[in-house]
Structure 1
Amino acid sequence: MSENVENPEIGEIARAESERGELVLRRRTSGPGAHVLELRVNGVFVMDTLETTTEAALAAAALELVEHPRDVVVGGLGLGFTTQRVLADSRVEKVVVVEVEEALVGWMRDGTVPHGPAILADERVRIVNADILMAIAEARSTYDLVLLDVDNGPGYLVHGANAGIYEPAFLQRCRDVLNPGGVLAVWSADHSPELVEAMREVFGDVDEQVHDVLLQDRPEHYYLVVARHTVG
């Protein structure tokens, strides 16, 4: 069930409940006359519209490694910034966005998230309302990029069931649905040697990128872990 609150200046603007818990979209100030949207899941900060550099970098890091990134899977719609960066690349022909929270898709479609309608109106986008574990397990197509920003990383899980995303069995399935030369990129809120090792076990060479960010006036580090499906 989803509920919208009409035009508040500051505070909660939308809330939804699902079997996974509570999803809340809030507005906060970021300076005189400036507002930021913030997404929280079960009370845990997930992302906002102020610091979006690593969401875009998740896409950019993978896109630059593939000559013809025609078909892309984005695991996690969030507030749309990874998908937006993918769509900015004219080589991309199809983007499948897998999002488990139906309410979040609705907020992006109906303008509760103001930039959402323009992103989802792109004819290349197809939304799949499903768990990413199931969507990848049941995939019948292959892709050039798989981008995963589903949780806060293996060390800061919002939903315990998402632990499987970072384990070798699922990472192997991601490799299976990648075309030769395709790339898997995973976002994490912290350095995870276990994730790096699991991806190395499946893919061989792995590149871990560290990104400095300013999160609500606090310096933090976010991580992208990138691997390519090599042949031979």
Structure 2
Amino acid sequence: MSDLPETVERCQTPRGEMQLQCRGSHYEIISNGTFLMATYQGDSEKALVRSALERVQCPRNLLIGGLGVGFSLAEALTDRRVEHVTVVEIEPDIVRWNRDVLAPFSNHALKDPRVHLVQADFIDWMEHTKNTFDLICLDIDNGPDWTVVDKNRRLYTEQGIRHLKSLLRPQGILSVWSASLSRRFVNCLEKFFEVKLESVPHFKGQHDWIYLARKSETAE
């Protein structure tokens, strides 16, 4: 993108500063000075969901960790088999932006009656929920090896993966987005799942990565 960014809004949160920036006709979200996401590059966020949906026979109940700019949620809602989507997002400002200036980019996905939005820290929420899911899609921070919020590292440890596995139904898929390839994380996933990797090129000539992990039919 060649346009210089303009700050639309700057918000202070318990996790630091969030910024919404406008770049031409598009928007970027910045956390503590680090780029998180933008409306002009959603291919990998859509692939996070689409590639997982292709691997699940009856994906009725989905969990999405991280709302972002709404691309992953919008992709989930294009599948008629999907009956319910729980979205967990910690930042109220991101939710508000998705209901406002970002809404057209996701086709106003938050208005879909299949969507249940939970404003909470994903780690805290997953440790207390009793629900299980056919598909879990995580787009939390920038992935296993590049976390802006220190607490998010717990998601990518053996303990975090074990807990995520407990929320999956048999033959369910855990799909994880990352800005880089982490062999350490792959090795960790392979202790619990059958794992596949997908790379998605983006406009900078680099690749984002999708980790696709399947729970066995009989695993607890």
Under TM normalisation by the shorter chain, which class is it? over 0.9
- Hey, what does 2:188 align to over in structure 1? 198
Over 3 Å off, 4+ runs: none
Superposed, which structure 2 residues align to 1:21-100 within 5 Å? 21-29=16-24, 35-100=25-90
Residue deviations 1:35-66, cap 9 Å, x none? Answer: 22111111100111111000000000110011
Contact kept? 2:103, 2:109, Cα under 8 Å: no
Q: Alpha-carbon deviation of 1:15?
A: 2.1
Contact kept? 2:74, 2:107, Cα under 8 Å: no
Equivalent residue of 2:209, what SS? strand
Tell me how far apart the structure 2 counterparts of residues 64 and 95 of structure 1 sit (CA, whole Å).
16
Which residues of structure 1 form unaligned runs of 5+?
1-8, 30-34
Equivalent residue of 2:211, what SS? strand
Which residues of structure 2 form unaligned runs of 5+?
none
Contact kept? 2:144, 2:185, Cα under 8 Å: yes
TM-score by length of 2: 0.94
- Aligned residue pairs, count: 214
Q: Alpha-carbon deviation of 1:114?
A: 3.7
Contact kept? 1:108, 1:117, Cα under 8 Å: no
Superposed, which structure 2 residues align to 1:1-232 within 5 Å? 11-29=6-24, 35-109=25-99, 111-115=100-104, 118-203=108-193, 205-214=194-203, 218-232=204-218
Question: In the alignment, residue 182 of structure 2 is paired with which amino acid?
Answer: S
Identical positions, percent: 35
Bigger relative contact order, structure 1 or 2 (CA pairs below 8 A, ≥6 apart): 2
- Hey, what does 1:6 align to over in structure 2? none
Contact kept? 2:141, 2:148, Cα under 8 Å: yes
TM-score by length of 1: 0.89
Question: In the alignment, residue 10 of structure 2 is paired with which amino acid?
Answer: R
Residue deviations 1:81-126, cap 9 Å, x none? Answer: 00000011010010000000011111112x1224267111000101
Mean CA deviation greater in 133-142 or 92-101? 133-142
Tell me how far apart the structure 2 counterparts of residues 72 and 132 of structure 1 sit (CA, whole Å).
14
Residue deviations 1:166-200, cap 9 Å, x none? Answer: 11111111111111111000001001011101111
Mean CA deviation greater in 11-20 or 93-102? 11-20
User: How large is the Cα RMSD of the aligned pairs?
Assistant: 1.4
Q: Alpha-carbon deviation of 1:10?
A: 5.6
Contact kept? 1:10, 1:27, Cα under 8 Å: yes
